[in-house]
Amino acid sequence: MSWRASQVRANACGSTVLVWRSVSKDRRLPIFWAGALLALVACASIAGIEDPDPANGGDAGSPDGGVQPGDGISITPESVTITTSCTGSGESRYITLTNQTDADTTYELQIPEGSAFALRDASDASTPTLKGTLAAKQVLIVYLRVTATTAGTYSGQIIARVGERVTQLPVVVTVSGGSLALSPTLIDFGEVRKDTNSPTQVVQLENTGTEKVNVIGFEAVGGSGTDFTTSLASGSLVLDPGAKTDVTTMFVAGPPGPQITTAFEPRTETPTCGALPKLTLKGTRVNQDVTVNPVLLNFGEVDCSSAGGTTRTISISNYSGGLVPFTVSTASTRYSVDPPSGTVPAANGNTPGKVDVVVTLKAVGAALDTYNDTIEVSTTGPQAKTTTVALSLKTVGATISVQPTTLTGFGGDEIESFTVKNTGNKFIYLQHTSSDSSSFRLVNNSDSSPLYPGISLGVSVKFVAQGNGQRSATITTTRRDTPVLSLFPSSAALCEPAAVVTATAKR
C-alpha cells in the first residue's frame, strides 16, 4: 500500500493544501483519510479536492521525464516551474518520489534558506525539509508552496537525498504582476517666496514588476492637493517591466503661511503587486527677501563602487534691492559644493537675483548602506540666516556569499554542492565557472534567472576526472550581464570580489 496526496486548487497566493490518502497496490480499493486542513497563509482559500494533475508535476507512477538518483528510484519531474500572480490565482506543482525496488530506502528533501518556495508536509505546514522512509514499491507526492510575494522570477532548487545519493531539481518561481516604486518618496521644497512658484523637482517612477502597468496620473491622498502639481512626462503612459519615467513636481504660488504637506500616489488602470507607493510633498510660503530651496536633496540609489558625479542643485534667491553674501559648508566627505561662497545679485524689479549651488557626489565605496548628511547655507543680509539642507543617498548592489567554501569527499554519486546567497539589496545575474571542467563539472547550473536579495541557490559540482590521482579546481561565481531577451533591467553591480569555492577529490 502506498500513500498519495490529493490537491486543493491553488488560491490567490499560488498555494495548495494537501489531503493524504492510502491506495492499495491494485488501485481498486481506495481508502480515504482526510486530516484537518490548516491554511497557513492569510489569503488561503479552498476551491475543491481532486487527484493530482500529471501536467502539474508528472505522473506519480512513472519515472519518465524525471531523474533517477539510484536504480529503481526516480524523482519526477526533473525540473519545476511555478507561475503565480500576486493579484489572482496561481498554479500548484508537486514532485513525485517513486521506489520501484523491493527494499525500503531513506529520503530527505531540502530547500536552501531564503528560497521563494517551501515544501508542504502532511499537516499542510510549510517546511524547508522533509525526510522519512520511502517503502518498497511506494510512491510519495510532495507539493510546493510559493512564499515570495514580490513580483519577479526566482531561481532555486530542491536538494533530494535518496539513500546515499544526492540529486538537485531546479525550481523557477515567477510571481507575475506590475509593481511601482518612487525615488525619492519625499520632496521638501523648503521656504518659497509668497505668490511665487517653486523651482520644479523631479521624482523617478519605476515598474519593478514583471508585467506592464498603465499609469494614469497622480492623486492626492487625504487632501485637496491644490498646493502642489505632479505631472508625468506624457500625461499617462504604459510602463514596461523595468522601465522608468520622470514625474515633475512643483509647489505652486500662494499666500504665506505654515508648512503644507500633502501625500500623492499614482493611479493605475489595473491593480499592482503590493501597496502603491506614496510621494510626500511639503513646503512653506514665506514673506521674506532671501529663500533657499529645496532643503532636501535625494541622490537616490547609486551603484556600489560608483565613481560618483551625480549632481543636485540648491537655489539661493534674493528678492531684496541689495547684495546678499553667502557661504556653503558641509562636514561630509561624500560631496563637494560649487561655489562654496559668493554673493547673490540684487533683485531686478520682480525678478529675484539667483545663485545655483551645485552639489556633486564623490566616488562611493563597496559598502551597502543609506547615508544621511547635511549642508549649511548661511546668508548675511537683509537678515542673517542659516538654512540646513538634508542630503540622502542609498548605495545598491549585490554581495555574494558562498557556503561551504571547500568541497571534498566526493562520494558515491561524486557530486558535492555549495549554496550561493545574495546578501545585497539588488538582484543580480550570476555565472559559475570551473578552473578545471575536465575534472570538476558544474551540474544544474541554473543561472538563467536573477538571484534576488536574501535568496539562496544551490550549485552542484561533479567529479568527472578520468585518470587516477588527486585533482583540485576553483569554482568562481561572478556577475554576468542580463540576458538579451530578459524583461528585467540590468544586472546589479557586484560590490565585492568574485566568490570562490575550492574543490578537491582523488581517484
Q: Is the pLDDT of residue 471 over 80?
A: yes
Q: Which distant-in-sequence residues (6+ apart) come within 8 Å of 295 by Cβ?
A: 188, 189, 190, 191, 387, 388, 389, 390
- Alpha carbons 307 and 304: distance in angstroms, whole number: 9
- Alpha carbons 415 and 339: distance in angstroms, whole number: 63
Q: Which fold has domain 400-506?
A: Immunoglobulin-like (2.60.40)
The pLDDT tens digits of the residues spanning 283-296 come to: 999 999 999 999 99
Confidence at residue 27, expressed as pLDDT on a 0 to 100 scale: 32
- Alpha carbons 106 and 165: distance in angstroms, whole number: 10
Q: Which fold has domain 2-175?
A: Immunoglobulin-like (2.60.40)
The pLDDT tens digits of the residues spanning 44-74 come to: 222 222 334 433 443 333 334 566 666 788 8
CATH 2.60.40.10 region(s) of the chain? 2-175, 177-286, 288-396, 400-506
- Alpha carbons 214 and 204: distance in angstroms, whole number: 16
> Among positive and negative, which fits the CA dihedral 164, 168, 169, 172?
positive
Q: Is the pLDDT of residue 229 over 90?
A: yes
- Alpha carbons 462 and 442: distance in angstroms, whole number: 6
Spell out the SS3 assignment of 366-383.
Answer: CCCCEEEEEEEEEECCCC
In one-letter notation, the amino acid at residue 140 is L
Chain centroid offset of residue 254 CA: 42
Could you give the strand order of the β-sheet that contains 311-318, starting from the edge strand earlier in sequence?
290-293, 311-318, 353-361, 335-338
- Alpha carbons 134 and 127: distance in angstroms, whole number: 19
Q: Which distant-in-sequence residues (6+ apart) come within 8 Å of 381 by Cβ?
A: 290, 320, 322, 323, 324, 325
Q: Which CATH number fits domain 177-286: 2.40.30.10, 1.10.10.10, 1.20.272.10, 2.60.40.10?
A: 2.60.40.10
Confidence class for position 12, pLDDT limits 50, 70, 90: very low
- Alpha carbons 245 and 298: distance in angstroms, whole number: 17
- Alpha carbons 314 and 377: distance in angstroms, whole number: 9
Q: Output the pTM of the full model.
A: 0.66
- Quick check: 314 and 377 in contact, CB under 8 A? yes
C-alpha cell at 453: 536579495
- Alpha carbons 177 and 104: distance in angstroms, whole number: 44
- Quick check: 377 and 386 in contact, CB under 8 A? yes
At residue 124's C-alpha, the angle toward residues 118 and 126, to 5°, is 25
Q: Is the pLDDT of residue 39 over 60?
A: no
Q: Which CATH superfamily is domain 288-396 in?
A: Immunoglobulins (2.60.40.10)
At residue 101's C-alpha, the angle toward residues 69 and 121, to 5°, is 65
Selection from 151, 109, 91 nearest residue 458 by Cα: 109
- Alpha carbons 149 and 276: distance in angstroms, whole number: 15
Peptide bond connecting 294 to the previous residue in cis, omega within 30 degrees of 0? yes
In one-letter notation, the amino acid at residue 6 is S
Q: Return the residue matching grid coordinates 518520489.
A: 97
Number of helices (H), then strands (E), belonging to the chain: the values are 0, 41
Selection from 474, 414, 477 nearest residue 445 by Cα: 477
The pLDDT tens digits of the residues spanning 141-197 come to: 999 988 887 888 887 888 888 887 777 788 888 888 899 999 899 999 999 999 999
